[in-house]
Amino acid sequence: MKLFLNKNFTFMFFGRVVTNIGDSLYAVAAMWLVYDLGGSTFYTGLAGFLSIVPRIIQLLGGPIIDRLPVKRLLLTTQLLQAGLLLLIPVAAYAGFLTVTLVLVITPLLATLNTFVYPAQMAALPEIVKKEELTKANSYFTVAYQGIDVACNAIAGVLIVALGAVSIYLLDSVMFLVGAVLFFFLRLPGKKTVPQKSGASSHIKTYTRELKVGIAVLFNKTLSRLLLGVIGINLVGGATFVVLPAFGDERGGAEIFGFLLMAQAAGSLTGALLTPYLKLERFGLGRVYGIAFVLSGFLWAVSVFSPWTWMMIGLYGLAWLPGGVTNILIMTCLQKGIPKAFLGRVLSAVYSISGIALPLGSLAGGALGVAIGSTAIIFLSGLVVTLTGLFWLLDRKTRSLPKIEEINEESFIKKETAEVMAV
């Protein structure tokens, strides 16, 4: 706990905790309010699309984060988010709250939020010692996922007790508290680095580096896994946007909150269990295949459970394998990709896999109107199961090396090495 004797870390950590609470409560309240005002899964699909699209372009914010003082950036984003959130209760009080207003505010909030977490991660090396970085990052990660679990559990109850509009007011206050905590940060100023080349040169360099990252992902080693993950993200986006309607059918807003809590708890449990499962001795493709056959099966059958508690439990368990594979694939990339190329590869991972989420949100919202939320969740689970089976049956995927044996030579094939060398 010596880290908390560092005032900068303490203010940064608790500022993040407060804003995470605001983010988590808002995510649930926004989907429910859109469903309540619009009365259709089409609108929740559109809201999901608008909230996820800014994440695809998050990597473009890197230069901004590098140039602006972190404290100013954090204060500005918190105050703007607080102001935007406050518009909803003001509109409700004045009698002109519409689903359109909620949908307009959603991408603006999501865009502002894309700067917060990267800015904090970029500032950590400035406020803690080098040997404390791993522990500091762990605190941030556990706090982030733990808050998601807790807030998803109580968000549905709060919506029932206070109403979704009141959650927006509460969130606005949370972001103001976050701004106060960030105000007390004392961070070193940014060093101005002279620019030797123009914007066109930067664009060309960025495009070339992103092309390298994409080439790594689409080589023969990873392409099948990547395409499968894109498909899983597609149906994951579809499932998320029909959950409010599904929860409403099964009992109301509190069921929606419990489903989100189970999802977050399943992912967190998988991440925590990964070091103890000793899966490094197995081939990466086999692990992925078995993990998502189990995940998809639980995902699909959960909607047919006769009891609500069983349905929530099975749905939560369906997300546990994903928590495991997220940790494993990150370890594989860190071991198998040269450090000089890791940043651009991870940027490509985030961008390419993230493309499927907003598309899935739109498709899920539209299809939910036609065939219902239960059918969407079942079909999504079926797609995940079939993806896992494909990985198990596909010879190239099964032949992926054991995780413990992965290195640059085993992971990066000849055609990718040639691209990297350019």
Domain boundaries, the chain: 1-187, 202-422
Of the candidates 302, 306, 343, which has an alpha carbon nearest to the alpha carbon of residue 320?
Answer: 302
Distance of CA 103 to the CA centre of its chain: 20
* pLDDT value of residue 406: 72
Q: Using DSSP, state whether 193 is helix, strand or coil.
A: coil
* pLDDT value of residue 261: 83
Q: Which residues contact 265 (CB under 8 A, 6 or more apart)?
A: 149, 316
Instruction: For residue 291, give Cα distances in angstroms to 229, 282, 320, 379.
Output: 12, 12, 9, 18
Average pLDDT, the chain: 80
The Cα–Cα gap between 382 and 384 comes to 5
Query: How big is the chain, counted in residues?
Result: 422
Segment (H or E) for 384: helix 373-393
**111-149 pLDDT per residue, tens:** 888 777 777 766 777 787 766 766 676 677 667 767 776
**301-328 pLDDT per residue, tens:** 999 998 999 999 999 999 999 888 877 7
Give the highest mean pLDDT range of 11-20, 107-116, 251-260, 344-353.
Answer: 11-20
**167-182 pLDDT per residue, tens:** 999 999 999 999 999 9
- The answer for 283, left when phi > 0, alpha when psi is -120 to 50, beta otherwise, is beta
Q: Are 2 and 129 in contact (CB under 8 A)?
A: no
pLDDT over 70, % of the chain: 75
- Greater pLDDT, 416 or 330: 330
The Cα–Cα gap between 304 and 240 comes to 18
CATH 2.40.50.140: does it fit domain 1-187? no
Please give the average per-residue pLDDT across 66-75, as a whole number: 80
Q: What is the pTM of this model?
A: 0.68
The Cα–Cα gap between 46 and 278 comes to 41
Please give the average per-residue pLDDT across 184-207, as a whole number: 62
Give the highest mean pLDDT range of 68-72, 157-161, 169-173, 284-288.
Answer: 169-173
* pLDDT value of residue 80: 95
Q: Is the pLDDT of residue 196 over 60?
A: no
Structure token digits, residue 142: 């556990």
* pLDDT value of residue 63: 53
* pLDDT value of residue 193: 45
Amino acid at 41: T
Q: Which residues contact 86 (CB under 8 A, 6 or more apart)?
A: 168, 169, 172
The Cα–Cα gap between 108 and 110 comes to 5
Q: Are 285 and 293 in contact (CB under 8 A)?
A: no
Q: Is the pLDDT of residue 92 over 70?
A: yes
Please give the average per-residue pLDDT across 330-351, as a whole number: 63
Amino acid at 310: M
* pLDDT value of residue 219: 64
| Cα angle value 243/247/248 (rounded, 5°) | 120
Query: What secondary structure letter does DSSP report for 319?
Result: T
Alpha helix (H) ranges present in 302-338?
A: 308-318, 320-336
The Cα–Cα gap between 285 and 401 comes to 8
Q: How confident is the model at residue 414 (pLDDT cuts 50, 70, 90)?
A: very low
* pLDDT value of residue 358: 80
* pLDDT value of residue 351: 64
Amino acid at 393: L
Q: Are 110 and 54 in contact (CB under 8 A)?
A: yes
The Cα–Cα gap between 234 and 56 comes to 14
The Cα–Cα gap between 374 and 315 comes to 13
Say whether 202-422 and 1-187 share the same fold: yes
| Cα angle value 210/285/217 (rounded, 5°) | 10
The Cα–Cα gap between 174 and 182 comes to 12
Structure token digits, residue 96: 């002109």
The Cα–Cα gap between 348 and 209 comes to 10
Which CATH code for domain 202-422? Answer: 1.20.1250.20
Of the candidates 104, 99, 96, which has an alpha carbon nearest to the alpha carbon of residue 42?
Answer: 99
Q: Is the pLDDT of residue 187 over 70?
A: yes
**4-46 pLDDT per residue, tens:** 888 888 998 899 899 888 888 888 888 889 988 988 888 888 8
Q: Is the pLDDT of residue 228 over 90?
A: no
pLDDT over 90, % of the chain: 27
* pLDDT value of residue 343: 52
Q: How confident is the model at residue 192 (pLDDT cuts 50, 70, 90)?
A: very low
Structure token digits, residue 395: 């010879």
The Cα–Cα gap between 405 and 415 comes to 21
Q: How confident is the model at residue 194 (pLDDT cuts 50, 70, 90)?
A: very low
